[in-house]
Structure 1
Amino acid sequence: MKTTITRRAAFAAAVVLAGTLAGCSGTAGTQAPTASAIAVPDKWTGGNVTLTLWNDNAAMKGAADLFNAQHADQGIKIEFSPNTDLAKSVRNAHSAGNPPDIFATQTADLAGYIAEDIATDLAPYFPSIEKDYAKATLDAVSLGGSKYGIPASDIPTFTLFNKEVFDQNGIALPTTYEDFLEAGKKLKTKGISVFNVAGEDPTTYTYMAWEAGAKWWELKDDGWNVNIDTPETRRAAEYFDEAFSNGLFSKISYAEYSAMMQEYNTNKIAARQLSTWQTKGMQANLTTGLGKWVPAPNLAWKGQDTVNAAFTRVYAVDSKTKNKDAAVFAAHWLSTNADSVAALASPQTGLGWFPAVADPSPYIATSAPKALLGDNINQWDPVVKKAVQTRATDWTWDLTTPVPSPNSRTSGAKQ
């Protein structure tokens, strides 16, 4: 199905439909043409300011504490509050007129915050700081000449294989989605699922269609084109149809997370697609399954190069803040300062967030889940580097696109 919405109608709803924020949304270097540039300083000289920062995970406190310690003599500090129902709390606080100055979110959700005028445009600040960030993360916060957030974390994705399972069954690690299904057919005869897809989670399908080349929403010619019936989308749909028809994928819900982890422990599920930060939870929840897993580049569609699709984490600044300059200063520091980035990247004491910085290579070792990988740890560095290099950036989120669920391939509380 391909639908064209006229430009007059589309323009009125552009932010609602466009969402975030990549691909047809503009390029990383594009700035709002009418706004004057505002330099983000290396040191705060703007007087005494107390900023509020919200995130849904208490492990961000370590980075906030570092910020406060290193800026104690500059009059600026962060009061951090964890909030498990973050989206609802941000909206309620904004409506009540007392929102957080900064809140952590992700690009798949940012569309709604833009449409509701909660997230504010930060484009004037970027001429002085865009050099600090990876291009994929800059693209992810860009909508035309606007930038709705400071990149907080990149999400390079890859495949984890239970090497013991594949070795014991004489199956080479697949490199394409098609070969992955063939491996699944062999493993099924041993009572093993090659993969798990939770029924409530649409993102694996969304990302696979994206990686195949699908573009469900595009601003083109005279309006927004909605095009979900394409060969690329059908390729992903037919793939899942074959996998489920043949019983190759298990379907354990994330509501049964403990049961899912037990299947990984007992070699009943042989592979998982995920990102660096998710290895923290997997490592913490496995017992007998530790040490068996080997990372490999994201699966590719046959005939195409490896590419990995995912959202980007963002520090959004509320449009009602009275401390916009200070909020941008703090968000930039949190996402680029070496101590802060290392604290957030730690899979033991931090969030396992992969840095959004232009050169993340110094932090790759910090994110390594040593217990999970065991003797396969030497594969971590090259696989993560390749994942960073092959990040997809040509997707536009909208309010009807399935967004990462709390427990999805690349999102959520369950890891």
Structure 2
Amino acid sequence: MSQFRTRALASVAAAASLSLLLAACGGGEDSDSAAKPTEATKGKVTLEFWSWTDGIEAQTKVWNKEHPETQIKFVNAAGDTAYQKLRAAVNAGTAPCLSKMDGMNLANFAADGLLTDITDVAGQYKGKYTAAAWNAVSPGGTTFGIPMGSSPLFTAYRADLFEKYGIEAPKTWDDLIAAGKKAQKKNKKVKIFNMAGEDPSTLVDLSWESGAQWYKAEDDHWVVDFTSPEALKAGDIVQQLVDNDLASNASYADPGVFKTWDLGTTIAMTTSTWQLPIYNTNFPKSKGKWQLADSPMFDTAKPQTSSNFDTLGVLKGCKYPDRAAEFAAWLSSSKESLTTLTDPASKSGLFPAVTDVSPYVDKIIPTEMFNGESDSAKVITDAASWVGDQWQYGPNYAAMYSEMQKQWGKVMKKEITVKEMLTSIEKWTVDDLNDKGIKAVAGS
């Protein structure tokens, strides 16, 4: 999961207008103060850092020994209510300078005026990370954090059962559909894929890979487009999987979910780096029968994958944004830090968002899990280089995703079509943004 293709930078107008939108939403007397240029912090400082990733606290101790001028006070913020606690802390004026957060929550916090604009102080670190990763911390072109980790998409499949059913690793999504149909002719109970009723991530991945842009910052507003030709092309693949009963519907909340792959009921999946150790532990019967391959593509001549991103957001009220960015960049890009954090022994599950992931790939691959017939390291490295850089987390992405989860279950039950869901979600998202005072229009 090699360099990313260069992405077009957001226009200055888009960045400025987004800052105005964020200020309007923040509501506080000084809600736009974060957009002002930041002077370099002088002298010894201590800044608070919240995270819930294993192995991170040990790295902060390494940093503290080497950087007496910038001391990090680590707080383990683990728990289902971490984001609620973080919001409450910002509103109470007791927030940390820095906190872990995923890409969609960073965009949400930014839209609510809860983050600090660090564009000026963070620019020097931009070249360390992939374009797609930097995009994740820069909604609308304004930077609010530093990338931490990525999870580029690739395929894991039961090579033994693919051979048994006379199918090959699918190069395209159409190939996946065809392979699923062929396998079912030999075993009508087998499924080529899994789509849980509570989890629309398959549609997100396909939409990202197809080149769709659900959100796009443009001038003084957001363009919301869930029904573009690219988005509908992704939706059509999902619809075919549903209509032809090619996907199992094992819930990821079910502890027994792993059996569908381990026992060969489902024979392929799109997956990522952080999941590999989990499979190695939970696939006892099929160990050594798996193989990695590229994620299916929409256009093999222009390969494009998707990825979730972990970030380190700089919170509103942080007195030392330059030091926070410096520490965050060290933690997420220095060889010293990444050599430890990408080691499975750290239990962090981290895969970096830097431009060159090659030093960190081999050790994350559980070799006993795979049959050794493909170059697993190359599959992962290529996936990292192919993450589409057009994708943008919009201001209400987290709320939109919750709404999509509600409708996704109806799609899986064949009560509504994917296109009907996408049309509905587009309207819901536009209405929700406008209700929040953030100007948005439908794109199609």
TM-score tier by shorter-chain length is 0.7 to 0.9
Give per-residue Cα distances to partners, 1:182-220, cap 9 Å, x unaligned: 111122342221111111112210221222222223344
What CA distance in whole angstroms lies between the structure 2 residues aligned with 1:16 and 1:374?
Answer: 54
Q: Which moved more, 1:349-358 or 1:219-228?
A: 219-228
Match for residue 314 of structure 1? 311
Match for residue 124 of structure 2? 128
Q: Is the 8 A contact 1:62 1:343 kept in 2?
A: no
Q: Which one of the candidate residues 74, 92, 100 is aligned to 2:88?
A: 92
Gaps of 5+ in 2: 1-13, 26-33, 406-444
What is the Cα deviation at residue 145 of structure 1?
A: 4.8
Q: Which one of the candidate residues 37, 40, 43 is aligned to 1:35?
A: 37
The SS at the match of 2:148 is: strand
Q: Is the 8 A contact 2:23 2:113 kept in 1?
A: no
- The answer to whether residue 387 in structure 2 is matched with residue 385 in structure 1 is no
What is the Cα deviation at residue 12 of structure 1?
A: 8.9
What is the Cα deviation at residue 144 of structure 1?
A: 4.7
Gaps of 5+ in 1: 1-6, 19-31, 40-44, 409-415
Instruction: Sort the Cα spacing of 1:241 and 1:33 in 2 relative to 1 into closer, same or farther, 3 A.
Output: closer
The SS at the match of 1:108 is: helix
Instruction: Sort the Cα spacing of 1:15 and 1:375 in 2 relative to 1 into closer, same or farther, 3 A.
Output: same
Q: Which moved more, 1:281-290 or 1:163-172?
A: 281-290
Match for residue 204 of structure 1? 202
Instruction: Sort the Cα spacing of 1:262 and 1:130 in 2 relative to 1 into closer, same or farther, 3 A.
Output: same
Instruction: Sort the Cα spacing of 1:148 and 1:75 in 2 relative to 1 into closer, same or farther, 3 A.
Output: closer
What CA distance in whole angstroms lies between the structure 1 residues aligned with 2:263 and 2:354?
Answer: 38
Q: Is the 8 A contact 2:101 2:310 kept in 1?
A: yes
Instruction: Sort the Cα spacing of 1:245 and 1:358 in 2 relative to 1 into closer, same or farther, 3 A.
Output: closer
Match for residue 216 of structure 1? 214
Match for residue 173 of structure 1? 169
Match for residue 254 of structure 1? 252
Match for residue 340 of structure 1? 337
What is the Cα deviation at residue 334 of structure 1?
A: 0.5
Q: How do residues 104-183 of structure 1 correspond to structure 2 at under 5 angstroms?
A: 104-183=100-179
Instruction: Sort the Cα spacing of 1:161 and 1:311 in 2 relative to 1 into closer, same or farther, 3 A.
Output: same
Instruction: Sort the Cα spacing of 1:208 and 1:221 in 2 relative to 1 into closer, same or farther, 3 A.
Output: same
What is the Cα deviation at residue 120 of structure 1?
A: 1.2
Give per-residue Cα distances to partners, 1:80-101, cap 9 Å, x unaligned: 4141222122112222322222
What is the Cα deviation at residue 298 of structure 1?
A: 1.5
Q: Which one of the candidate residues 234, 238, 253 is aligned to 1:236?
A: 234
- Letter of the structure 1 residue corresponding to residue 256 of structure 2: A
Q: Is the 8 A contact 1:17 1:398 kept in 2?
A: no
What is the Cα deviation at residue 139 of structure 1?
A: 2.5
What CA distance in whole angstroms lies between the structure 1 residues aligned with 2:397 and 2:127?
Answer: 30
Match for residue 81 of structure 1? 76
Q: TM-score, normalised by structure 2?
A: 0.76
- Letter of the structure 2 residue corresponding to residue 84 of structure 1: G
Q: Is the 8 A contact 1:345 1:351 kept in 2?
A: yes
- Letter of the structure 2 residue corresponding to residue 368 of structure 1: I
What is the Cα deviation at residue 146 of structure 1?
A: 2.1
What is the Cα deviation at residue 175 of structure 1?
A: 0.7
What CA distance in whole angstroms lies between the structure 2 residues aligned with 1:117 and 1:229?
Answer: 29
What CA distance in whole angstroms lies between the structure 2 residues aligned with 1:234 and 1:130?
Answer: 33
Match for residue 364 of structure 1? 361
What CA distance in whole angstroms lies between the structure 2 residues aligned with 1:302 and 1:271?
Answer: 20
What CA distance in whole angstroms lies between the structure 2 residues aligned with 1:55 and 1:209?
Answer: 30
Give per-residue Cα distances to partners, 1:52-98, cap 9 Å, x unaligned: 32223334333333323444x55623424141222122112222322
What CA distance in whole angstroms lies between the structure 1 residues aligned with 2:246 and 2:305?
Answer: 22
- The answer to whether residue 288 in structure 2 is matched with residue 291 in structure 1 is yes
What CA distance in whole angstroms lies between the structure 1 residues aligned with 2:23 and 2:37?
Answer: 23
Q: What is the number of residues matched between the two proteins?
A: 376
Q: Which is helix-richer, 1 or 2?
A: 2
Q: Percent identity?
A: 27
Match for residue 61 of structure 2? 65
What CA distance in whole angstroms lies between the structure 2 residues aligned with 1:16 and 1:163?
Answer: 53
What CA distance in whole angstroms lies between the structure 2 residues aligned with 1:16 and 1:182?
Answer: 50
Q: How do residues 261-276 of structure 1 correspond to structure 2 at under 5 angstroms?
A: 261-276=258-273
- Letter of the structure 1 residue corresponding to residue 37 of structure 2: A
Q: Which one of the candidate residues 264, 279, 294 is aligned to 1:282?
A: 279
